Amino acid sequence: METVEIKNCYDSHAHFVSTGRNQLGLTLKTLQSADDVKSLVIKPEHFQGDWLVGFGWDNHLWRDSSLPHKDILDKYFPDFPVLFGRVDGHAGWINSKGLQKLQLPHDESTGVLLERDYIQALMQLPKHSETQLKAQIKESIKTFNQAGFTHVRDLSMNSLTANLLHDLYNARELTICIDGFITAENVVDLERAYLDFQKCQQIKNPYLRFHGIKIFIDGSLGSETALISKNYIGKSHNGLLAWTQDEIKTALIYCWSRKIEIAIHTIGDLAVDIAVKAAREVSASGLLGKLHLEHVQLISPQTINLMKPLHIHCHIQPSHWLSDKKWIKSKIGDLSSYLFQWELLRKNKIPFSFGSDSPVEPTSLVRTYEALKDSSQFEIPALTADIYSYHAHPDHTWTTSKTVFDTEKIHSVYFNGEKIN
Ligand SMILES: [Zn+2]
Protein backbone atom coordinates (compact mmCIF):
# COMPACT_ATOMS: atom_id res chain seq x y z
CA MET A 1 0.00 0.00 0.00
CA GLU A 2 1.16 3.49 -0.83
CA THR A 3 2.26 5.65 2.07
CA VAL A 4 2.03 9.41 2.35
CA GLU A 5 4.13 11.74 4.46
CA ILE A 6 2.28 14.64 6.07
CA LYS A 7 4.35 17.54 7.37
CA ASN A 8 3.20 19.10 10.67
CA CYS A 9 0.11 16.90 10.68
CA TYR A 10 -2.73 19.09 11.89
CA ASP A 11 -6.17 18.60 13.39
CA SER A 12 -7.59 22.05 12.67
CA HIS A 13 -10.61 21.94 14.96
CA ALA A 14 -10.56 20.18 18.30
CA HIS A 15 -11.39 20.62 21.95
CA PHE A 16 -8.06 19.66 23.40
CA VAL A 17 -8.66 18.99 27.10
CA SER A 18 -12.11 17.51 26.49
CA THR A 19 -10.48 14.92 24.26
CA GLY A 20 -8.43 13.45 27.13
CA ARG A 21 -11.27 14.09 29.58
CA ASN A 22 -13.50 11.96 27.40
CA GLN A 23 -10.99 9.15 27.18
CA LEU A 24 -10.73 9.03 30.96
CA GLY A 25 -14.35 9.90 31.65
CA LEU A 26 -17.66 8.12 31.49
CA THR A 27 -18.58 7.43 27.87
CA LEU A 28 -22.20 7.15 26.84
CA LYS A 29 -21.51 6.33 23.20
CA THR A 30 -22.41 2.68 23.65
CA LEU A 31 -25.92 3.31 25.01
CA GLN A 32 -28.54 1.62 22.84
CA SER A 33 -31.41 3.27 24.68
CA ALA A 34 -31.94 5.80 27.44
CA ASP A 35 -32.69 2.98 29.86
CA ASP A 36 -29.22 1.48 29.28
CA VAL A 37 -27.79 3.96 31.80
CA LYS A 38 -28.70 1.35 34.40
CA SER A 39 -25.77 -0.83 33.31
CA LEU A 40 -23.10 1.90 33.35
CA VAL A 41 -20.06 1.07 35.47
CA ILE A 42 -19.48 4.15 37.63
CA LYS A 43 -15.96 4.93 38.92
CA PRO A 44 -14.69 7.70 41.25
CA GLU A 45 -12.90 9.50 38.36
CA HIS A 46 -16.26 9.99 36.65
CA PHE A 47 -17.20 12.59 39.26
CA GLN A 48 -16.68 16.32 39.05
CA GLY A 49 -17.02 17.33 42.70
CA ASP A 50 -20.21 15.53 43.78
CA TRP A 51 -21.61 15.40 40.21
CA LEU A 52 -21.61 12.33 38.03
CA VAL A 53 -20.68 13.56 34.57
CA GLY A 54 -20.71 11.65 31.27
CA PHE A 55 -20.63 12.43 27.58
CA GLY A 56 -21.54 11.04 24.19
CA TRP A 57 -25.15 9.80 24.14
CA ASP A 58 -26.83 10.00 20.76
CA ASN A 59 -30.58 9.41 20.66
CA HIS A 60 -30.40 9.00 16.87
CA LEU A 61 -28.72 5.64 17.50
CA TRP A 62 -31.41 4.46 19.90
CA ARG A 63 -34.38 2.22 19.22
CA ASP A 64 -36.57 5.11 20.42
CA SER A 65 -34.84 8.18 19.00
CA SER A 66 -36.83 10.80 20.92
CA LEU A 67 -34.97 12.86 23.54
CA PRO A 68 -34.54 11.14 26.91
CA HIS A 69 -36.33 12.21 30.12
CA LYS A 70 -35.04 12.98 33.59
CA ASP A 71 -37.31 10.32 35.12
CA ILE A 72 -34.96 7.62 33.83
CA LEU A 73 -31.93 9.23 35.51
CA ASP A 74 -33.95 9.74 38.69
CA LYS A 75 -34.84 6.06 38.73
CA TYR A 76 -31.21 4.83 38.60
CA PHE A 77 -29.36 7.81 40.14
CA PRO A 78 -31.61 9.21 42.88
CA ASP A 79 -28.82 10.16 45.30
CA PHE A 80 -26.44 12.56 43.53
CA PRO A 81 -26.60 15.14 40.72
CA VAL A 82 -26.04 13.81 37.19
CA LEU A 83 -25.33 15.62 33.89
CA PHE A 84 -24.82 13.66 30.68
CA GLY A 85 -23.82 15.55 27.50
CA ARG A 86 -25.16 14.73 24.06
CA VAL A 87 -22.54 13.65 21.50
CA ASP A 88 -22.69 17.00 19.62
CA GLY A 89 -22.08 19.02 22.79
CA HIS A 90 -25.27 21.00 22.28
CA ALA A 91 -27.61 19.30 24.75
CA GLY A 92 -27.41 17.80 28.23
CA TRP A 93 -29.53 15.29 30.11
CA ILE A 94 -29.89 16.06 33.80
CA ASN A 95 -31.62 14.47 36.82
CA SER A 96 -33.82 16.13 39.44
CA LYS A 97 -30.99 16.34 42.01
CA GLY A 98 -28.95 18.19 39.41
CA LEU A 99 -31.77 20.57 38.52
CA GLN A 100 -32.20 21.44 42.22
CA LYS A 101 -28.55 22.50 42.41
CA LEU A 102 -28.52 24.80 39.37
CA GLN A 103 -29.90 28.22 38.54
CA LEU A 104 -31.32 27.92 35.04
CA PRO A 105 -33.33 30.52 33.11
CA HIS A 106 -35.96 28.22 31.60
CA ASP A 107 -38.30 25.52 32.81
CA GLU A 108 -36.36 22.29 32.43
CA SER A 109 -38.91 19.80 33.68
CA THR A 110 -38.12 17.28 30.91
CA GLY A 111 -34.51 17.05 32.02
CA VAL A 112 -33.03 17.95 28.62
CA LEU A 113 -31.07 21.20 28.52
CA LEU A 114 -30.49 22.72 25.11
CA GLU A 115 -27.74 25.05 23.90
CA ARG A 116 -27.24 27.97 26.31
CA ASP A 117 -29.05 26.24 29.16
CA TYR A 118 -26.69 23.29 28.80
CA ILE A 119 -23.65 25.57 28.69
CA GLN A 120 -24.91 27.46 31.74
CA ALA A 121 -25.26 24.14 33.53
CA LEU A 122 -21.70 23.13 32.59
CA MET A 123 -20.36 26.46 33.83
CA GLN A 124 -22.05 25.93 37.21
CA LEU A 125 -20.53 22.48 37.82
CA PRO A 126 -17.72 22.14 40.36
CA LYS A 127 -14.28 22.48 38.72
CA HIS A 128 -12.03 19.53 37.99
CA SER A 129 -9.11 19.28 40.40
CA GLU A 130 -5.67 20.26 39.08
CA THR A 131 -4.62 16.60 39.33
CA GLN A 132 -7.60 15.58 37.18
CA LEU A 133 -6.82 18.36 34.70
CA LYS A 134 -3.15 17.34 34.35
CA ALA A 135 -4.10 13.71 33.75
CA GLN A 136 -6.61 14.82 31.09
CA ILE A 137 -4.04 16.99 29.29
CA LYS A 138 -1.50 14.14 29.21
CA GLU A 139 -4.18 11.81 27.87
CA SER A 140 -5.04 14.37 25.17
CA ILE A 141 -1.42 14.65 24.02
CA LYS A 142 -1.22 10.86 23.83
CA THR A 143 -4.51 10.59 21.93
CA PHE A 144 -3.58 13.14 19.26
CA ASN A 145 -0.02 11.81 18.87
CA GLN A 146 -1.26 8.23 18.49
CA ALA A 147 -3.70 9.39 15.83
CA GLY A 148 -0.73 10.90 13.98
CA PHE A 149 -1.21 14.56 14.89
CA THR A 150 1.66 16.79 15.96
CA HIS A 151 -0.31 20.03 15.59
CA VAL A 152 -3.78 20.79 16.95
CA ARG A 153 -5.97 23.84 16.90
CA ASP A 154 -7.81 24.09 20.22
CA LEU A 155 -11.07 26.04 20.31
CA SER A 156 -11.38 25.70 24.10
CA MET A 157 -8.07 27.11 25.34
CA ASN A 158 -7.76 28.99 28.63
CA SER A 159 -4.88 30.30 30.72
CA LEU A 160 -5.12 27.49 33.27
CA THR A 161 -4.65 24.86 30.54
CA ALA A 162 -1.95 26.97 28.87
CA ASN A 163 0.06 27.11 32.11
CA LEU A 164 -0.22 23.35 32.64
CA LEU A 165 0.91 22.79 29.03
CA HIS A 166 3.86 25.09 29.69
CA ASP A 167 4.78 23.01 32.79
CA LEU A 168 4.73 19.89 30.62
CA TYR A 169 6.97 21.63 28.09
CA ASN A 170 9.47 22.42 30.86
CA ALA A 171 9.33 18.74 31.88
CA ARG A 172 10.05 17.86 28.18
CA GLU A 173 6.68 16.09 27.94
CA LEU A 174 4.95 18.38 25.44
CA THR A 175 5.03 16.60 22.08
CA ILE A 176 2.41 18.68 20.32
CA CYS A 177 2.02 22.23 18.98
CA ILE A 178 -1.22 23.98 19.82
CA ASP A 179 -3.00 26.96 18.24
CA GLY A 180 -5.31 28.34 20.92
CA PHE A 181 -8.58 30.24 20.84
CA ILE A 182 -10.53 31.32 23.95
CA THR A 183 -14.31 30.93 23.82
CA ALA A 184 -16.54 33.91 24.66
CA GLU A 185 -20.05 32.71 25.52
CA ASN A 186 -21.80 35.98 24.69
CA VAL A 187 -21.11 39.63 24.00
CA VAL A 188 -20.71 40.48 27.69
CA ASP A 189 -18.17 37.65 28.04
CA LEU A 190 -15.78 39.12 25.40
CA GLU A 191 -13.95 41.13 28.05
CA ARG A 192 -13.27 38.08 30.27
CA ALA A 193 -12.18 36.05 27.25
CA TYR A 194 -9.78 38.81 26.18
CA LEU A 195 -8.29 39.12 29.68
CA ASP A 196 -7.68 35.37 29.71
CA PHE A 197 -6.21 35.60 26.20
CA GLN A 198 -3.75 38.23 27.45
CA LYS A 199 -2.72 35.90 30.29
CA CYS A 200 -2.04 33.17 27.74
CA GLN A 201 0.01 35.53 25.61
CA GLN A 202 2.38 36.14 28.50
CA ILE A 203 3.46 32.50 28.27
CA LYS A 204 6.43 32.29 25.92
CA ASN A 205 6.54 28.79 24.56
CA PRO A 206 7.71 27.64 21.12
CA TYR A 207 4.91 25.06 20.88
CA LEU A 208 2.00 27.27 21.97
CA ARG A 209 0.45 30.04 19.88
CA PHE A 210 -2.55 32.06 20.97
CA HIS A 211 -4.63 33.60 18.23
CA GLY A 212 -7.84 35.09 19.51
CA ILE A 213 -11.43 34.55 20.54
CA LYS A 214 -14.03 32.03 19.43
CA ILE A 215 -17.78 32.61 19.47
CA PHE A 216 -20.63 30.40 18.36
CA ILE A 217 -23.57 31.93 16.61
CA ASP A 218 -25.67 28.83 15.91
CA GLY A 219 -26.10 25.25 17.11
CA SER A 220 -25.86 21.84 15.47
CA LEU A 221 -27.74 19.97 12.74
CA GLY A 222 -28.29 16.97 15.04
CA SER A 223 -30.19 19.14 17.53
CA GLU A 224 -31.87 21.13 14.70
CA THR A 225 -30.38 24.30 16.13
CA ALA A 226 -27.98 25.11 13.26
CA LEU A 227 -29.37 28.17 11.45
CA ILE A 228 -30.37 27.12 7.93
CA SER A 229 -32.04 29.07 5.12
CA LYS A 230 -35.20 26.92 5.06
CA ASN A 231 -37.29 25.34 7.79
CA TYR A 232 -36.24 21.91 9.01
CA ILE A 233 -38.30 19.21 7.31
CA GLY A 234 -41.64 18.85 9.08
CA LYS A 235 -40.82 21.72 11.47
CA SER A 236 -41.85 25.36 11.61
CA HIS A 237 -38.40 26.72 12.49
CA ASN A 238 -34.99 27.03 10.86
CA GLY A 239 -32.69 26.83 13.88
CA LEU A 240 -31.38 29.60 16.07
CA LEU A 241 -29.11 32.61 15.91
CA ALA A 242 -27.39 32.81 19.29
CA TRP A 243 -25.87 36.27 18.65
CA THR A 244 -27.76 39.14 16.98
CA GLN A 245 -26.26 40.56 13.79
CA ASP A 246 -25.18 43.66 15.73
CA GLU A 247 -23.52 41.53 18.39
CA ILE A 248 -21.59 39.61 15.72
CA LYS A 249 -20.31 42.91 14.32
CA THR A 250 -19.42 44.02 17.86
CA ALA A 251 -17.36 40.84 18.32
CA LEU A 252 -15.57 41.33 14.97
CA ILE A 253 -14.75 44.94 15.84
CA TYR A 254 -13.72 43.94 19.37
CA CYS A 255 -11.20 41.38 18.06
CA TRP A 256 -9.90 43.15 14.98
CA SER A 257 -9.40 46.48 16.74
CA ARG A 258 -7.22 44.59 19.27
CA LYS A 259 -5.38 42.91 16.38
CA ILE A 260 -6.46 39.41 17.39
CA GLU A 261 -8.22 36.78 15.30
CA ILE A 262 -11.83 35.72 15.60
CA ALA A 263 -13.26 32.24 15.03
CA ILE A 264 -16.99 31.83 14.49
CA HIS A 265 -18.86 28.56 14.87
CA THR A 266 -21.27 28.53 11.92
CA ILE A 267 -22.84 25.23 10.92
CA GLY A 268 -25.98 26.24 9.04
CA ASP A 269 -25.78 27.93 5.63
CA LEU A 270 -27.67 30.99 6.90
CA ALA A 271 -25.36 31.35 9.89
CA VAL A 272 -22.28 31.33 7.61
CA ASP A 273 -23.94 33.89 5.35
CA ILE A 274 -24.70 36.19 8.28
CA ALA A 275 -21.13 35.90 9.62
CA VAL A 276 -19.60 36.63 6.21
CA LYS A 277 -21.88 39.62 5.59
CA ALA A 278 -21.04 41.03 9.04
CA ALA A 279 -17.32 40.63 8.27
CA ARG A 280 -17.79 42.44 4.94
CA GLU A 281 -19.56 45.35 6.65
CA VAL A 282 -16.83 45.71 9.27
CA SER A 283 -14.11 45.43 6.60
CA ALA A 284 -15.86 48.05 4.48
CA SER A 285 -15.48 50.49 7.38
CA GLY A 286 -11.70 50.05 7.06
CA LEU A 287 -11.07 47.66 9.96
CA LEU A 288 -9.43 44.45 8.68
CA GLY A 289 -8.64 41.20 10.44
CA LYS A 290 -8.56 37.45 10.18
CA LEU A 291 -11.78 35.43 10.38
CA HIS A 292 -11.93 31.67 10.92
CA LEU A 293 -15.17 29.92 10.03
CA GLU A 294 -15.66 26.72 12.04
CA HIS A 295 -17.39 23.63 10.61
CA VAL A 296 -18.70 25.21 7.38
CA GLN A 297 -20.68 22.03 6.89
CA LEU A 298 -23.38 23.73 4.83
CA ILE A 299 -22.62 26.68 2.57
CA SER A 300 -24.18 28.23 -0.54
CA PRO A 301 -22.16 29.20 -3.64
CA GLN A 302 -23.33 32.82 -3.16
CA THR A 303 -21.79 32.93 0.32
CA ILE A 304 -18.52 31.50 -1.00
CA ASN A 305 -18.45 34.36 -3.52
CA LEU A 306 -18.90 36.90 -0.74
CA MET A 307 -15.92 35.39 1.12
CA LYS A 308 -13.39 36.16 -1.61
CA PRO A 309 -12.21 39.65 -0.60
CA LEU A 310 -12.00 38.73 3.10
CA HIS A 311 -9.10 37.24 5.09
CA ILE A 312 -10.91 33.96 5.83
CA HIS A 313 -9.78 30.47 6.75
CA CYS A 314 -12.40 27.69 6.87
CA HIS A 315 -12.15 24.62 9.08
CA ILE A 316 -14.09 21.56 7.93
CA GLN A 317 -14.56 18.20 9.66
CA PRO A 318 -15.14 15.60 6.93
CA SER A 319 -15.84 12.83 9.47
CA HIS A 320 -19.13 14.51 10.40
CA TRP A 321 -20.35 13.17 7.06
CA LEU A 322 -19.95 9.59 8.29
CA SER A 323 -22.00 10.26 11.42
CA ASP A 324 -24.64 12.54 9.91
CA LYS A 325 -25.35 10.93 6.54
CA LYS A 326 -27.96 8.57 8.03
CA TRP A 327 -30.35 11.37 8.94
CA ILE A 328 -29.10 14.56 7.31
CA LYS A 329 -31.44 14.54 4.31
CA SER A 330 -34.48 13.85 6.46
CA LYS A 331 -33.71 17.05 8.40
CA ILE A 332 -32.58 19.51 5.73
CA GLY A 333 -33.99 18.11 2.45
CA ASP A 334 -32.80 20.00 -0.66
CA LEU A 335 -30.25 21.98 1.32
CA SER A 336 -28.16 18.78 1.23
CA SER A 337 -26.74 20.10 -2.04
CA TYR A 338 -24.83 22.67 0.10
CA LEU A 339 -23.13 20.00 2.23
CA PHE A 340 -19.32 19.81 2.42
CA GLN A 341 -18.36 22.22 -0.37
CA TRP A 342 -14.58 21.54 -0.16
CA GLU A 343 -14.23 21.37 -3.92
CA LEU A 344 -16.03 24.66 -4.50
CA LEU A 345 -13.97 26.35 -1.76
CA ARG A 346 -10.81 25.03 -3.42
CA LYS A 347 -11.88 26.28 -6.84
CA ASN A 348 -12.58 29.68 -5.35
CA LYS A 349 -9.17 29.69 -3.61
CA ILE A 350 -10.65 30.05 -0.12
CA PRO A 351 -8.09 28.45 2.24
CA PHE A 352 -9.34 25.64 4.44
CA SER A 353 -8.05 22.90 6.73
CA PHE A 354 -9.41 19.59 7.92
CA GLY A 355 -10.10 18.70 11.52
CA SER A 356 -12.15 16.33 13.62
CA ASP A 357 -14.07 18.36 16.23
CA SER A 358 -12.66 15.84 18.72
CA PRO A 359 -14.14 14.64 21.05
CA VAL A 360 -17.38 15.01 19.06
CA GLU A 361 -15.72 12.77 16.45
CA PRO A 362 -12.53 10.78 17.11
CA THR A 363 -9.40 12.55 15.87
CA SER A 364 -8.41 10.41 12.88
CA LEU A 365 -6.77 10.60 9.47
CA VAL A 366 -8.44 7.32 8.55
CA ARG A 367 -11.88 8.83 9.10
CA THR A 368 -11.08 11.87 6.96
CA TYR A 369 -9.99 9.56 4.19
CA GLU A 370 -13.12 7.39 4.55
CA ALA A 371 -15.44 10.41 4.66
CA LEU A 372 -13.98 11.90 1.47
CA LYS A 373 -14.21 8.60 -0.34
CA ASP A 374 -17.71 7.81 0.89
CA SER A 375 -19.24 11.28 0.38
CA SER A 376 -18.16 11.39 -3.26
CA GLN A 377 -20.39 8.38 -3.87
CA PHE A 378 -23.35 10.49 -2.82
CA GLU A 379 -23.96 13.93 -4.33
CA ILE A 380 -21.00 15.69 -2.71
CA PRO A 381 -18.45 16.83 -5.33
CA ALA A 382 -15.13 15.06 -4.76
CA LEU A 383 -12.11 17.08 -3.67
CA THR A 384 -9.76 16.98 -6.65
CA ALA A 385 -6.56 17.73 -4.76
CA ASP A 386 -4.17 16.04 -2.34
CA ILE A 387 -6.53 15.59 0.61
CA TYR A 388 -3.64 15.27 3.07
CA SER A 389 -2.38 18.75 2.29
CA TYR A 390 -5.48 19.95 4.16
CA HIS A 391 -4.20 18.11 7.24
CA ALA A 392 -0.82 19.90 7.14
CA HIS A 393 -0.41 22.95 9.38
CA PRO A 394 -0.43 26.09 7.20
CA ASP A 395 2.91 27.08 8.78
CA HIS A 396 5.31 24.43 7.43
CA THR A 397 8.15 25.95 9.45
CA TRP A 398 6.56 25.46 12.88
CA THR A 399 8.81 22.57 14.02
CA THR A 400 10.05 19.79 11.74
CA SER A 401 7.41 17.17 12.35
CA LYS A 402 6.08 14.50 10.05
CA THR A 403 3.62 11.64 10.02
CA VAL A 404 3.78 8.59 7.75
CA PHE A 405 0.34 7.22 6.93
CA ASP A 406 -1.14 4.75 4.43
CA THR A 407 -4.94 5.43 4.53
CA GLU A 408 -5.43 2.54 6.97
CA LYS A 409 -2.94 3.14 9.72
CA ILE A 410 -0.22 5.40 11.10
CA HIS A 411 3.30 4.06 10.47
CA SER A 412 5.40 6.62 12.33
CA VAL A 413 5.17 10.04 13.91
CA TYR A 414 8.08 12.46 14.37
CA PHE A 415 7.66 15.51 16.55
CA ASN A 416 10.25 18.22 15.97
CA GLY A 417 12.70 15.70 14.54
CA GLU A 418 12.27 13.03 17.23
CA LYS A 419 10.40 9.80 16.67
CA ILE A 420 7.53 9.60 19.16
CA ASN A 421 5.44 6.81 17.66
ZN1 LIG B 1 -16.01 22.36 18.07
Indicate whether 182 and 306 sit together in one domain.
yes
Nearest to 122 by CA among 81, 175, 152: 81
Domain CATH number, residue 28: 3.10.310.70
Centroid of ligand 1 to alpha carbon of 222 (angstroms): 14
Confidence at residue 88, expressed as pLDDT on a 0 to 100 scale? 85
Centroid of ligand 1 to alpha carbon of 9 (angstroms): 19
Indicate whether 348 and 225 sit together in one domain.
yes
Residue 276 placed within a domain: yes
Centroid of ligand 1 to alpha carbon of 286 (angstroms): 30
**Residue where a domain stops, chosen among 78, 102, 124:** 124
Centroid of ligand 1 to alpha carbon of 352 (angstroms): 16
Centroid of ligand 1 to alpha carbon of 154 (angstroms): 9
Classify the phi-psi angles of 399: left when phi > 0, otherwise alpha if psi is within -120 to 50, otherwise beta. left
Indicate whether 138 and 239 sit together in one domain.
yes
Taking only the tens of pLDDT, the chain with its 421 residues reads 689 999 999 999 999 999 999 899 999 999 999 999 999 999 988 999 999 999 999 999 999 999 999 999 999 999 999 999 999 888 999 999 999 999 888 878 899 999 889 999 999 999 988 999 999 999 999 999 999 999 999 999 999 999 999 999 999 999 999 999 999 999 999 999 999 999 999 999 999 999 999 999 999 998 899 999 999 999 999 999 999 999 999 999 999 999 999 999 999 999 999 999 999 999 999 999 999 999 999 999 999 999 999 999 999 999 999 999 999 999 999 999 999 999 999 999 999 999 999 998 999 999 999 999 999 998 899 999 999 999 999 999 999 999 999 888 999 999 999 999 8
Centroid of ligand 1 to alpha carbon of 214 (angstroms): 10
Distances, alpha carbon 231 to alpha carbons 222, 239, 245, in Å: 14, 8, 20
Centroid of ligand 1 to alpha carbon of 3 (angstroms): 29
Centroid of ligand 1 to alpha carbon of 38 (angstroms): 29
Domain CATH number, residue 321: 3.20.20.140
Tally of domains in the chain: 2
Centroid of ligand 1 to alpha carbon of 269 (angstroms): 17
Centroid of ligand 1 to alpha carbon of 317 (angstroms): 9
Indicate whether 117 and 239 sit together in one domain.
no
Centroid of ligand 1 to alpha carbon of 181 (angstroms): 11
Centroid of ligand 1 to alpha carbon of 383 (angstroms): 23
Distance CA(408)–CA(404), nearest Å, equals: 11
**Residue where a domain stops, chosen among 81, 103, 124:** 124
Instruction: Provide the residue range defining the domain that includes 106.
Output: 18-124
Residue 11 placed within a domain: no
**Residue where a domain stops, chosen among 124, 154, 169:** 124
Centroid of ligand 1 to alpha carbon of 371 (angstroms): 18
Centroid of ligand 1 to alpha carbon of 179 (angstroms): 14
Centroid of ligand 1 to alpha carbon of 15 (angstroms): 6
Distances, alpha carbon 314 to alpha carbons 99, 219, 327, 370, 421, in Å: 38, 17, 24, 20, 29
Residue 4 placed within a domain: no
Distances, alpha carbon 173 to alpha carbons 142, 164, 179, in Å: 10, 11, 17
CB 180 within 8 A of CB 157: yes
